Each structure stands twice: as structure tokens, then as C-alpha cells.
Amino acid sequence: MTTDVQAKTKVAVIGSGNIGTDLMIKVIRLSRTLEMAAMVGIDPDSDGLARARRMGVTTTSDGVRGLLALDVADEIGVVFDATSARAHVANAAALAATGARLIDLTPAAIGPYVVPVVNLDAHLDARNLNMVTCGGQATIPVVAAAARIAPVRYAEIVASISSRSAGPGTRANIDEFTETTSRAIERVGGADRGKAIIVLNPADPPMIMRDTVFCLLDDCDTDAVAASVAAMVAEVAEYVPGYRLKQRVQFRRIGRDDAENSLIPDAPPGDRWMMTVFLEVAGAAHYLPEYAGNLDIMTSAALRVGERVAAHAGTAVAR
């Protein structure tokens, strides 16, 4: 009698900082279809590389060049990049000749924007997939949920995170964060116009991630919109358990002459609704503290994308 054992896809994580290390631990602890093959960094003394070695993962501190020199390099089907927008451009070029699929956790946006519950199915064949930003992963599902019920003329999101959870990479990419998130609100969320704001909160003890979503909607059934948002939040919570609504979805009637309509001068005139949604994202504390929900939602979403991409591509290699 033979037993079918599901093969796992070997993956590498580039970036041995907080995000990369948390993602590595999620792959090892949570994934039934992905297997850590290599942890890549540039600082030989980083905690991420040290932890990877203790967990039996092959490591290199020579960056992507070191990754390509590893014996296991040809077996890797998926590479997660948790470095920076600028570094990802160079990393993507260096990995272009390989057969690996790239999942980009930086705001570089070389490939299409992907939010798992919104548009992953449309991009399963893409070579390079961009995970937008933490604010985008948290708020774009809400914009998309509203857009499937009524036209979203304008959407604005405010992502508030603890300053302690904003490492050097996050701080170096603030401009890219706002630009990338704003574009993704339109391209993925479906809003006519999008705007993103990030707030680094120095509160002590640290606050967990909180997000506010404002959407200006054409006249519609607000109960249907609220139900759509609640259903979408439940879908995200399947892979980000700490993701939740802080309170019921709120609506305020906007007359055609009210100031809010000046946000969309090219839209047809009419009465509208202003929808406000308050979200909270607590981290799973696999490696990062609970308040770092902004980082946890990125690694959780990336893990979901990696598993789906690997399954679709059929890149699994038998152990």
C-alpha cells in the first residue's frame, strides 16, 4: 500500500529583520505546503539569521548573491523579499534568471498589487507580486467590499501604528508607503480616487495598529454595504486572526451641495453617503509583539499568497 505525502515548496526569505524573521517563523509553524529552505541577510550578527540557524534553516549573510550560491538555490520555488523598496529592485533583477516566483513585501511595486481576499486569483501567474503595504492590506478589503455594492467616488485611509513597530525599513519607505497605498486603493480597492496617511504613534505602552477608512459612496443600500464589509472582515480574519472591526460601520448622508462632494469634482452630481470604518489589527506574537499588527498583517498576507501561488504553479518538490 502506498501513502500520498503532500510535497512542500521550498522557499527563501530575503531580509533577516523583524518582518523577515516573523515570516520565517510563520512558514515553519503554520504552513503545511511551504518549507523554509534559506534565510538571507546582510548582517551576519542579526537576530534573524541566528534564530534561523537555531531552527535548522540554511542561512547566508551575503545577500542574494549568497542565496544564488547555495546548493538548494535551484530547488526554491518562492522567494519572499522583506527588505526595502530600493533593495527589491536590485534583488528582482538578480533573481530574474531563476524560476522562482517573487513575493514583494516592500512598496517597490514592480509587479501587480495583491490583496489576497480581493484580487489574488487574477494574478496567480504573475512572476512578481507586490503586497502593497500594511495599511493597504488592512484597509483595501474594506474599500473593495463597499465598491462591490456601490461606486466609491473617494476613499481615504489613515493607518496608525506604534512608532516602536516602525523599523528602519518602514521609516525609509514612508513616501513609498503613501504613494503605493493610494494607488492600490484605486487599482485594487476600486475607488475613483484614493488617499493614504500613516501615523507613527509614540504612545507608551505601545498601541496596536488601528486603521480608519472613509469612503464617499453614491446613493445606495447602506445595510447591504455594511453586510459586505462585515463579510470581508471575516474573510481577512481567516488568515489574520487579530483583524477586526472596532465598532459598527457608520454612515452619514451627504447632500449634493455639501463640502464633501468637492472631493470629487468630476463625478456626477447627487446625494451620497460617507462611510466610516474603524479597524484594529493585533499581532499573533509569533516573533513580534502583539502591538505590531502592522507587521503581522503583512507576513500573514504574504504567507497566504505564497501558499496559493505555489499550489497554482505546481512548483512543489518532494522532500
Return the amino acid letter for 43. D
Annotated binding-site residue? 63: no
Give the separation between CA 123 and CA 118, rounded to whole angstroms.
11
155 within 8 A of 195, measured Cβ to Cβ: yes
Annotated binding-site residue? 173: yes
Angle of CA points 161, 145, 109, to nearest 5°:
55
Give the separation between CA 104 and CA 94, rounded to whole angstroms.
14
Could you tell me which of 30, 23, 35 has the C-alpha nearest to residue 83?
23
Please enumerate in sequence order all residues whose Cβ is within 8 A of that of 162, keeping only pairs 6 or more positions apart, or say none: 200, 201, 203, 206, 207, 208, 209, 291, 292, 294
Annotated binding-site residue? 16: yes
Could you tell me which of 271, 270, 151, 149 has the C-alpha nearest to residue 221?
149
Annotated binding-site residue? 84: no
Annotated binding-site residue? 65: no
Give the separation between CA 94 and CA 239, rounded to whole angstroms.
31
The pair phi, psi for residue 79, each rounded to 5°, is: -120, 125
Question: Of 114, 117, 134, 207, which residue is the catalytic one?
Answer: 134
Annotated binding-site residue? 166: yes
37 within 8 A of 12, measured Cβ to Cβ: yes
Q: Is 134 a catalytic residue?
A: yes
Give the separation between CA 110 and CA 64, rounded to whole angstroms.
17
Annotated binding-site residue? 169: yes
Annotated binding-site residue? 119: no
Annotated binding-site residue? 128: no
Annotated binding-site residue? 171: yes
| Residue stretches of the annotated binding site | 16-19, 165-173, 294
| Residue stretches of the annotated binding site for NAD(+) | 16-19, 165-173, 294
Q: Which residues are catalytic?
A: 134
